[in-house]
Amino acid sequence: MEIAVLAYDGMTALDAVGPAQVLALMPGARLRWVAEQPGPQRTDCGMAITAAHALDDVRTPEIVLVPGALDVRGPANSPALQAWLRAAHATTAWTTSVCTGALILGAAGLLQGLRATTHWAAMDALKKTGAEPVHERVVREGKIVTAAGVASGIDMALTLVALIAGRDVAESVQLGIEYDPQPPFDAGSPRKARPEIAEAARRVLTTRRP
Amino acid sequence: MEIAVLAYDGMTALDAVGPAQVLALMPGARLRWVAEQPGPQRTDCGMAITAAHALDDVRTPEIVLVPGALDVRGPANSPALQAWLRAAHATTAWTTSVCTGALILGAAGLLQGLRATTHWAAMDALKKTGAEPVHERVVREGKIVTAAGVASGIDMALTLVALIAGRDVAESVQLGIEYDPQPPFDAGSPRKARPEIAEAARRVLTTRRP
């Protein structure tokens, strides 16, 4: 099963690597990291991720995974990337995004009229793409699966593995990566965070987002 | 605050990227990915992570983060890497590992007589390094903090951010990456997984591990 993971300069590393690590453990999975310009793509974690493949090297992947970034204008406004995304989506089994990766799917017109999710601070931007924003961790609409912010990509990928390979395989992957989350605090969503923390985070994210 | 993230061929990508994403959001953090041979390091997710720095470029980091791999013999047996690790540890504020990264710390003699943790399938190997293996998600012994398998690095890094920058900052980072885990199954530890799933996973991991 060929899985195309989109990479681009400025991407949020965990958006891509969380679900990639899960999918890589699915028997038969073959991950291909693709980029408009193959080679190293800067991330927001102080390192680059090297995508070995050009977009045209992987034209008919069974899964497409689109990670987000603080600023997605590059991939959202690239005619070549958007054309690849639309063409790949025509034949995928699953088209997926994490975080503001949904805005890139949206820019390609793939979310028009569909329920979808994204990072909690990007819901308004998602709405502008024609999607119907939903405050859920993982949203499935036919073959399109969108995940909320950054860390939610792991939950999304486990859901996907269960849909593709069954629950036993998904649980075995979960055990393999010891995904038994025990966050020291319970502040991972705006509904759970203390108001002053949420307000400060919203301010920072709004400042840094275009 | 200078944070050295060790990279090496064959590394488990999420071991490094999970905590790196958390630490990168801590105000003042400066992540430096280091490798014995700077440049792209193959991961188990179909892509390479590019470490820009040689070990000697980062001699006195305040935090060292050592990720694991299915096979850690390379970094565990490299005299240059082990010498760097021992020297860096002498002046770090925090020396940390995720998953079988603990075996690399152990090979350097840093865990002798100390409580530590690692991936659930690597507890015996950890014991052989002189550590006292503990089945906890995050284990702190003085300035050494070890995390369990792969995904536990995120919990470890949030714990670390709270210790360094306080609880408000840690919660704000948790909210920023929307770390509000909702795994579709509850199979992330051998104590929770169904016995047949745990047995199968143990078999696979034992086969692939040296």
Q: What is the CATH number of the domain that holds B143?
A: 3.40.50.880
Rounded CA separation A75/A11 (Å): 10
Beta-bridge partners for B94: B63
Residue B187 lies in a domain: no
How many domains does chain A fold into?
1
Rounded CA separation B173/B41 (Å): 27
Q: Which residues of A are catalytic?
A: 99
Give every CB contact of residue A199 below 8 A, 6+ residues apart in sequence. none
Rounded CA separation B28/A31 (Å): 34
Query: What values do phi and psi take at A131, rounded to 5?
Result: -80, 165
Q: Which structural domain range is residue B165 located in?
A: 2-182
Cα radius of gyration (chain A): 16
Q: Tell me, what amino acid is at A207?
A: T
Query: What values do phi and psi take at B97, rounded to 5?
Result: -145, 160
Q: Tell me, what amino acid is at A6?
A: L
**Is B156 at the interface with chain A, CB within 8 A?**
no
Give every CB contact of residue A174 below 8 A, 6+ residues apart in sequence. A158, B183, B185, B187, B188, B193
pLDDT at position B123 over 90: yes
- Minimum-distance CB partner of A184 among B12, B52, B155: B155
Residue A158 lies in a domain: yes
Question: What is the total residue count of chain B?
Answer: 210
* Interface with chain A: mutation pick from B11, B22, B47, highest number of A CBs within 10 Å: B47
Confidence of residue B23 (pLDDT cuts 50, 70, 90): very high
Using the structure block, give the residue that is written with the tokens 């959001």. B25
Given a contact cutoff of 8 angstroms between Cβ atoms, the answer to whether B41 and B75 are in contact is no
Chain B residue with CA closest to A201: the answer is B172
Rounded CA separation B111/B90 (Å): 13
Residue B158: which of B188, B187, B178, B142 has the closest Cα? B178
Cβ <8 Å between B183 and A154: yes
Residue B123 lies in a domain: yes
Q: What is the mean pLDDT of residues B24-34?
A: 96
Query: What values do phi and psi take at B103, rounded to 5?
Result: -70, -25
| Closest CA of chain A from B65, distance in Å | 13
Helix (H) or strand (E) holding B28: none
Rounded CA separation A121/B113 (Å): 46
Residue A151 lies in a domain: yes
**Is B102 at the interface with chain A, CB within 8 A?**
no
Residue A210 has a pLDDT of 43
Given a contact cutoff of 8 angstroms between Cβ atoms, the answer to whether A136 and A155 are in contact is no
Cα radius of gyration (chain B): 16
Residue A198 lies in a domain: no
User: In this structure, is the dihedral angle defined by the CA atoms of residues A204, B49, A48 and A7, taken in order, positive or negative?
Assistant: negative
Pairing type for strands B115-116 and B132-133 reads parallel
**pLDDT-above-90 percentage for chain B:** 94
Residue B10 lies in a domain: yes
Q: What is the mean pLDDT of residues A137-152?
A: 98
Confidence of residue A200 (pLDDT cuts 50, 70, 90): confident
**Is A78 at the interface with chain B, CB within 8 A?**
no
**Which of B65, B99, B107, B139 does the annotation list as catalytic?**
B99
Confidence of residue A202 (pLDDT cuts 50, 70, 90): confident
Given a contact cutoff of 8 angstroms between Cβ atoms, the answer to whether A189 and B177 are in contact is no
Rounded CA separation A180/B148 (Å): 10
Residue A152 has a pLDDT of 98
The DSSP code for A121 is G
Residue B78 lies in a domain: yes
Residue A203 lies in a domain: no
Q: Tell me, what amino acid is at B144?
A: I
Sheet with B144-147, side-by-side order of all strands: B53-54, B30-35, B2-6, B63-66, B94-98, B144-147, B138-141
pLDDT at position B210 over 50: no
pLDDT at position B206 over 90: no
In b/e form, how buried is each residue of A73-84, taking b as 16+ CB within 10 angstroms?
eebbebeebbeb
Confidence of residue A2 (pLDDT cuts 50, 70, 90): very high
Give every CB contact of residue B31 below 8 A, 6+ residues apart in sequence. A45, A46, A47, B3, B5, B20, B23, B24
CA geometry: angle at B178 spanning A24 and B197, to 5°?
A: 40
CA distances (Å), origin B149, targets A24, A46, B15, B153? 16, 23, 8, 8
Cβ <8 Å between A49 and B46: no
pLDDT in tens, A10-39: 999 999 999 999 999 999 999 999 999 999
Rounded CA separation A96/A157 (Å): 9
pLDDT at position B27 over 60: yes
Q: How far is CA A119 from the centre of its chain?
A: 10
Beta-bridge partners for B49: A49, B41
